[in-house]
Amino acid sequence: MRDIAMRDTWKKIALALGSAILVGVIACGASAQGIVYVSEMDKDSEIYVVAPDSGDSAPVSRRPSSLESGPRWSPDGKRIAFVSAASSASAGAGNLDIFVVSIDGGEDVRRLASQSGNEEAPLWTADGGRVAYVAEVDGQSDVYVVALESENDAEGRPARITTTGAEEFLGDWSPDGEWLVFSQRGNVDTQGLWLRNPNGVDLLRLTGENDLAPVWSPDGDAIAFVRNVEGNRDIYLLQPKDDDWREPVKIEPLIASPEADHSPAWAPDGDTLVYVSERDGNPEIYVYETDEDDPPQRLTRNEVEDSQPVWSPDGNRIAFVSVLHGESDIFAMDADGSNQQRLTHNDVKDHSPDW
């Protein structure tokens, strides 16, 4: 009994220290908030936050789970949405559910929605008031939206907003929260990019090709996406006619090479895209100024895979994943590729960053 009590005491101390580090990681404000990521450090996938300057890491939650994934910061930097397997003692055990944790040094972890099937890919609206996700219910994958009643209340009533019957993958919210863009896989009658207005009835088909990974520009004037043609991926741009997405859209190639270009992410300025290109024989990080005629700029130069680039909230830095030291680690660099810094130093996989 004494050993059990001592073990529980040390667990509480460890959790307290982790919370203190976590508070310190994000205490400098939104521009310097920590990078949330997934680590397999404890022999299962858990959510951590790492300080972009010091490299100090702390776990976000220590739920009895074998799988956590897909972490996403809320726009105000005070909450994190993520995917986790339900504990064996809970209802729906074994399913993937969406959770929200408040970053306040406590253990406030709440299930956002719990349905009969798996829930994945949480996406916040720009105002932090709603989260969209994909849920598989009765063998069908559809997009759902749930409203958060208040900052600390993650209990809402999910609304199913698609019923197409095709396999769906979430892309992005429009900056004004009016539209959700998502992709569908399947036959020529369903594949492509689609828009759904969660507040209304409109469902619009934007493209009819094998298109995926759509991301909205911060000003709402364009959508960058990846088009897969005969196994090669290039980055394209969608723009509405007369600022109305209900009208026919303009589609044009933006970044193309004989090798794959993919994983686009807009900088906060709305003019710059960071992405991954395999044109040099292995995946490297590039940036492209969409409002200029200059060629893309290569930021990483090595012989290993660099991937999953994300911008800091102020647009001055980029976090990414590299396997330079064997297993994948989280790195950060300035927007021009300088001041590269390895943030995690593990012999396990660290991945899926969000800043």
> pLDDT for 257-278, tens place per residue?
999 999 999 999 999 999 999 9
CB 353 within 8 A of CB 319: yes
d(CA 351, CA 163): 32
Q: Sign of the C-alpha dihedral, residues 289, 293, 294, 298?
A: positive
d(CA 246, CA 258): 33
% of the chain residues with pLDDT over 90: 63
d(CA 183, CA 53): 36
Please enumerate, as own/partner, the contacts of 98-103 that have beta carbons within 8 Å and a separation of 24 or more: 98/122, 98/131, 98/133, 99/61, 99/63, 99/154, 100/131, 100/148, 100/154, 101/47, 101/60, 101/61, 102/78, 102/151, 102/152, 103/22, 103/23, 103/26, 103/49, 103/60, 103/77, 103/78, 103/79
Cα 19 to Cα 2, 52, 60, 106, 252, distances in angstroms: 26, 17, 8, 7, 47
Lowest mean pLDDT among 9-13, 160-164, 208-212: 9-13
d(CA 32, CA 320): 16
Q: Which residue has the higher pLDDT, 300 or 85?
A: 300
Closest residue by Cα to residue 141 from 203, 185, 202: 185
> pLDDT for 305-352, tens place per residue?
999 999 999 999 999 999 999 899 999 999 999 999 999 998 899 999
**Residue entry with tokens 């920590």:** 34
Q: How far is CA 291 from the centre of its chain?
A: 25
Closest residue by Cα to residue 329 from 338, 319, 339, 337: 319
> pLDDT for 58-85, tens place per residue?
988 766 656 899 999 999 999 999 999 8
Q: Which two structure tokens, joined as six digits, stand for 75?
A: 């726009």
pTM of the model: 0.87
Return the pLDDT at 164: 76
Q: Which of 65-74, 164-173, 188-197 reaches the highest mean pLDDT? A: 188-197
